[in-house]
Structure 1
Amino acid sequence: MNKITNLFNIKYPIVQGGMIWVSGWKLASAVSNAGGLGLIGAGSMYPDVLREHIQKCKKATDKPFGINVPMLYPDIEKIMDIIVEEGVKIVFTSAGNPKTWTSFLKGKGITVVHVVSSVKFALKAEAAGVDAIVCEGFEAGGHNGREETTTFTLIPMVKEQVKIPVIAAGGIGSGRGMLAAMVLGSDGVQIGSRFAATQESSAHINFKNTIVDVKDGDTQLTLKELAPVRLVKNRFYDDIQELYQQNPSILQIKELLGRARAKKGMFEGDLDNGELEIGQIAGLIHEIKPVKEVFKEIVEEFELVKSFIDRL
């Protein structure tokens, strides 16, 4: 047992990232059933859709699971009310000020974790009263910190400053990566990209196949003027780079981005015009597998490498 398994009442200190368009009830329940903490990604769900996913997840697992809520979400009050009404006991917040909702959630008996990308925001989250933090490095897919601090430099710097449990995220998709993060001071890991390329992920099969095909250098952090996001280099990414050559205004960038780009790419499978958000670790993902198999591989590799190091 460690701080993270105790906090969430789970078997292994492995959290599945609450990714938009990827993390529905099937993925979350499969991860929870395997001994980790599954998260439903509320960022791509209307309130009534989220309620449906929560109810289906409760039927599919008797293990703990949580909800990831980006605080930029327009209907966040409705989302929070549904979480409370449905009796969800774990919430991960991101993309906003942790002070806004932490006391409300904790007042309802909910464990709160906040995602940060720097020491500064880690300290703010701790001061806001969260129970743990996810420290997400520059390698991660999806929306990311502007600082471009890598996971393996961020973890020890944050660990040096905070007293609450720390979960490492960004560039972790194997047992070796998990062990490395914990050696550097994390109490657990959050894994996104590896779970995006599973059978239970709600991502479109075109996107899952793209994850498998991605090599090192095929993703890039961009759109920093709006909200930094790591994308696979496709036609839409090329259009962004072409626009940047013209020294565009924020309005021009927003116009190019338009609406529902992430849905178009990751959920509907438009590989040319959609946002394809994935982490650098995708270069190590070579096959779409069931969650149970992925989980088994991560845990077995972690134990094998740890026992080897213990013998040294």
Structure 2
Amino acid sequence: MNSITSLFGIKYPIIQAGMIWNSGYKLASAVSNAGGLGLIGAGSMYPDVLRTHIRKCKQATQKPFGVNVPMLYPNLEEIMTIIVEEDVKIVFTAAGNPKIWTSFLKEKDITVVHVVSSTAFALKAQEAGVDAIVAEGFEAGGHNGRDETTTFTLIPMVKEKIKIPLIAAGGIATGGGMLAAMALGADGVQVGSRFVASLESSAHADFKQLILNVNEGDTKLTLKELTPVRLIKNKFYQDVQDLYEKCPTKDDLTHLLGKARAKRGMFEGDLIEGELEIGQIAGLIHDIQPAAAIIEAMIAEFETAKTALQHIKF
């Protein structure tokens, strides 16, 4: 048992990222039942939908699970109220100021974790009183940091500055990656892209299949003027790049993005005009498996890699 497994009451220090349009109760409960920590992604849910997913997750697992709350979305107060009313014990916050909600949640005996992309934000989160930090490198899919700091650089720098448990995220989908992150100072890992390509993910089947064909260089961080996001290079992505050639204003980019573009791509399966968020590690994802099998494989790879390192001599 380490600081992360102890903090959450789980078997393995593997956290499933609360990704919009991918992380419903089916995925969260499957990950929790397999010994990790499953997270329901509140960012793509209306408040009443979130309440339903929390209740269904409680029926599907007796193990700890949590809710991921991106603080850039509306209805935040209602979402937090539902989390308290439904007695959720773990909340991951992201994309906002941790000072706003941490005290409120902690007063309700809720474990709070905040996702950051820099050492400066990690220190602010620690000061706000969070119980742990997720430090996410820019390899990650979805919304990301503007500074493009890689995971291997970010983790040791954050570890050097903070005193609370640290979870590494961004570019981790294998046991070897997990071991490397922990060697750099992480106490656990958060895994996103690999769980998108799981049977229990709520992503559209066509999006899952597309992930299996992603190769090195097929994703790119873009739309930094709005909220940075890593996308698969499809027609929509190219439309964004074409607009950049014209030196667009922020309003121009917002107009092109429109509404529900991520839902259209990842949830509804529009691989041409949709926003398709996935991490660079997708190039190592070659099959769609149950969440339990993904965790089992990661732990087996972790142990194999750890044993192999013991035989290295200089």
State the TM-score bracket (shorter-chain normalisation): over 0.9
Q: How far apart are the structure 2 equivalents of 1:209 and 1:240?
A: 24
Partner of 1:120: 120
Structure 1 stretch 298-307 or stretch 128-137: which is displaced more? 298-307
Q: Which residue of 2 aligns with 1:282?
A: 282
1:110 matches 2:110: yes
**Aligned letter for 1:235?**
K
The residue number in structure 2 matching 1:181 is: 181
Secondary structure of the structure 2 residue equivalent to 1:147: coil
Residue 157 of structure 1 corresponds to which residue in structure 2? 157
> Within 1, Cα distance between the matches of 2:311 and 2:58?
42
| Separation of aligned partners in 2, 1:260 and 1:181 | 34
Is residue 263 of structure 2 the alignment partner of residue 263 of structure 1? yes
Kindly state the Cα deviation for residue 308 of structure 1 after the two structures are TM-superposed: 2.2
Please give the per-residue CA displacement for 1:185-240, whole angstroms capped at 9, x wherever unaligned: 00000000000000000000011011111000000000000000000000000000
Does residue 82 of structure 1 match 2:82?
A: yes
Equivalent residue letter for 2:298: I
The alignment partner of 1:100 has SS state of coil
Aligned equivalent of 1:12: 12
* Separation (CA, whole Å) in 2 of partners of 1:292 and 1:119: 33
Aligned residue in 2 for 1:71: 71
Report the counterpart of residue 25 of structure 2 in structure 1.
Answer: 25
Supply the distance in 1 between the matched residues of 2:205 and 2:213 (Cα, whole angstroms).
12
C-alpha distance in 2, partners of 1:307/1:283? 25
Root-mean-square deviation over aligned CA pairs: 0.6
1:250 partner amino acid = K
Tell me the distance in 2 between the aligned counterparts of 1:293 and 1:171. Answer: 19
Shift of 1:292: 1.3
Q: What is the percent sequence identity of the aligned residues?
A: 72
Distance 2:294 2:73 in 1: 31
SS, match of residue 15 in structure 2: strand
Q: Give the aligned residue type for 1:26.
A: K
Partner SS for 1:135: strand
Where does residue 144 of structure 1 map in the other structure? 144
Question: Tell me, what secondary structure is at the counterpart of 2:215?
Answer: coil
Q: Work out the CA distance in 2 between the residues paired with 1:104 and 1:32.
A: 25
- Give 5+ residue unaligned stretches, structure 2: none
Letter in 1 for 2:223: L
Between the aligned partners of 1:37 and 1:157, the Cα distance in structure 2 is 25
The superposition leaves residues 59-99 of structure 1 with CA deviations (integer Å, 9 ceiling, x where unpaired) of 00000000000011200001000000111000000000000
TM-score (ref. length: structure 2)? 0.99
Aligned mates of 2:111, 2:181 — CA distance in 1: 23
Deviation at 1:304, TM superposition (A): 1.2
Match of 2:242 in 1: 242
Q: Over residues 146-165 of structure 1, what are the superposed CA-to-partner deviations in whole Å (9 max), with x where a residue is unaligned?
A: 01000000000000000000
Q: Aligned AA for 1:249?
A: T
Distance in 1 between residues matched to 2:11 and 2:308, nearest whole Å: 22
1:246 aligned partner, one-letter code: K
Partners in 1 of 2:182 and 2:30 — Cα distance?
24
Residue 213 of structure 1 corresponds to 213
Which amino acid counterpart does residue 48 of structure 1 have in structure 2?
D
d(CA) in 1 for partners of 2:306, 2:10 = 20
| Structure 1 position 311, deviation (Å) | 4.2
Q: How many aligned positions are there?
A: 312
Name the SS for the 1:172 alignment partner.
coil
Task: Measure how far apart 1:251 and its partner are.
Answer: 0.6
- In the alignment, residue 232 of structure 1 is paired with which amino acid? I
Instruction: Give the counterpart letter for 2:123 in structure 1.
Output: L
Q: Work out the CA distance in 2 between the residues paired with 1:98 and 1:185.
A: 23
SS of residue matched to 1:213: coil
SS in 2 for 1:96: coil
The 3-state SS of whatever aligns with 2:172 is coil
3-state SS, counterpart of residue 171 of structure 2: coil
* Aligned residue type for 1:258: G
| TM-score with structure 1 setting the length | 0.99
Deviation of 1:310 (Å): 2.9
Find the counterpart in structure 2 of residue 308 from structure 1: 308
Any runs of at least 4 consecutive aligned residues in structure 1 with deviations exceeding 2 A, and if so which? none
Measured in 2, the distance between the counterparts of 1:308 and 1:8 equals 29
User: Aligned partners of 2:147, 2:114: CA distance in 1, in Å?
Assistant: 17
The whole-number CA distance in structure 1 between the counterparts of 2:116 and 2:310 is: 31
Which residue number in structure 2 is paired with residue 232 of structure 1?
232
SS of corresponding position for 2:237: helix
Q: Distance in 1 between matches of 2:122 and 2:207?
A: 32
